Structure 1
Amino acid sequence: MSTDHMSTPTKIRVATTWLDGCSGCHMSFLDMDERLIALAERIEIVYSPLVDTKELPEQVDVGILEGSISSEDDLEKAKTFRKRCKLLVSLGDCAVNGNVPSMRNHFKLADVMDRAYRENVTLQPQIPTREVPALLGTVKPIHGVVPVDIFVPGCPPRADAIWHVLSELIEGRIPDPSQVTRFGA
């Protein structure tokens, strides 16, 4: 990364969000424990469920997406991240291959909705029509809708893998997550 006139490294701007998933990848991010302090000296988290920022900035160095594309809301977030982020990271098995959320792809969407909102409900069974993002016909991994630069598998990826990827990016290198990850672990 570039430096200013006083030789202080410029922080890379990082944005994260979760789409359809369990947020386990963000929990793994927090599992970096004391390494978060060292990371805070080198990155600026400009948008994330981990901070209070409400709007994704126009220019971000690294965008990290967790979860799959299951709704119109997820689709818009992924497109916005791709447009505004120089590098886009697909974090975790849901983002990389659809994982658990994509299990519904084997069923008709109407049947899934009936099962979730009518058959398994005892009080006021009804399909929501307000304030719930419209589901897409099929669930897709991130790269199924936007180009992805780095894939970090795992359910969730270990904190060490996330640390490796971020450390490499901080140093201006494109990481090879296959050295420290595998699907499902």
Structure 2
Amino acid sequence: MSTQPKITVATAWLDGCSGCHMSLLDLDARLLELIEQVEIVYSPLVDAKELPARVDIGLLEGAISSEDDLARAQLFRARCQRLVSLGDCAVTGNVPAMRNHFKLADVFDRAYHENVTLKPQIPTREVPALLTPVRPVHSEVRVDVFVPGCPPSADAIWYVLTELIAGRVPDPPAVTRFGA
């Protein structure tokens, strides 16, 4: 067993479908190899509920569309040595940003009045304030690596992670593209 400390990795999803995290799980048997090199210290995929003060690699999936998303992106930037914008939503805003073409009041009306049969109402508790417009991660915080794809393939994620673990700067366009 190696005595060298493992590289720490944190992941989070903002406004998106979690497809990028599903692709991460699609590493399948490579997850066992990955876990020998890294410690996942924060993620919706593990029990850890608090982002450590210092993390080597942070992966953010999804767009910034709420105050909670913005706060999480800022916290990741402050605490992660390398920040990866993972997937088309994080890189461009993609599907979540489609609401940018509508007034926020119309979005709320459509979701909470027009499409509801019992007690139509706009929620007021435990719902983060929405931002306008929806934005990609790099519009709010500095991003070190952009990994396009909807979602990026397990192979693309593997490539990016193994390059970062080895201390190299990955070239994601060599292995993935928008929408792929």
Normalised by the shorter chain, which TM-score bucket?
over 0.9
Q: Which amino acid aligns with 2:86?
A: L
Report the CA distance between 1:174 and its aligned residue: 1.1
Match of residue 94, structure 1, among 76, 84, 89 = 89
Using the alignment, how far apart are the partners of 1:127 and 1:32 within structure 2? 40
Match of residue 145, structure 1, among 124, 140, 147 = 140
The answer for unaligned runs of 5 or more in structure 2 is none
Q: Name the SS for the 1:41 alignment partner.
A: helix
Using the alignment, how far apart are the partners of 1:145 and 1:123 within structure 2? 38
Q: Which amino acid aligns with 1:53?
A: A
Q: Is the 8 A contact 1:65 1:95 kept in 2?
A: yes
The answer for unaligned runs of 5 or more in structure 1 is 1-5
Matched, 1:66 2:61: yes
Using the alignment, how far apart are the partners of 1:173 and 1:146 within structure 2? 22
Q: Name the SS for the 2:85 alignment partner.
A: strand
The aligned counterpart of 2:103 is 108
The aligned counterpart of 1:31 is 26
Matched, 1:181 2:176: yes
Residues 19-68 of structure 1: CA distance to partner in whole angstroms, max 9, x if unpaired? 00000000000000000000000000000001000100000000100000
Instruction: Figure out how many residues of one structure are paired with residues of the other and give that number.
Output: 180
Match of residue 133, structure 1, among 123, 128, 131 = 128
Of all paired residues, the percent bearing the same amino acid is 75
Match of residue 15, structure 2, among 20, 29, 51 = 20
Report the CA distance between 1:138 and its aligned residue: 1.0
TM-score normalized with structure 1 length: 0.95
Match of residue 165, structure 2, among 162, 170, 181 = 170
Match of residue 154, structure 2, among 135, 143, 159 = 159
Residues 107-155 of structure 1: CA distance to partner in whole angstroms, max 9, x if unpaired? 0011001101111111111111110111012100000110100000000
The aligned counterpart of 1:43 is 38
Q: Is the 8 A contact 1:12 1:42 kept in 2?
A: yes
- Give the root-mean-square deviation of aligned CA atoms: 1.0
Q: Name the SS for the 2:134 alignment partner.
A: strand
Q: Which amino acid aligns with 1:182?
A: R
Matched, 1:123 2:128: no
Using the alignment, how far apart are the partners of 1:31 and 1:7 within structure 2? 26
Q: Which amino acid aligns with 1:49?
A: P
Q: Name the SS for the 2:89 alignment partner.
A: helix
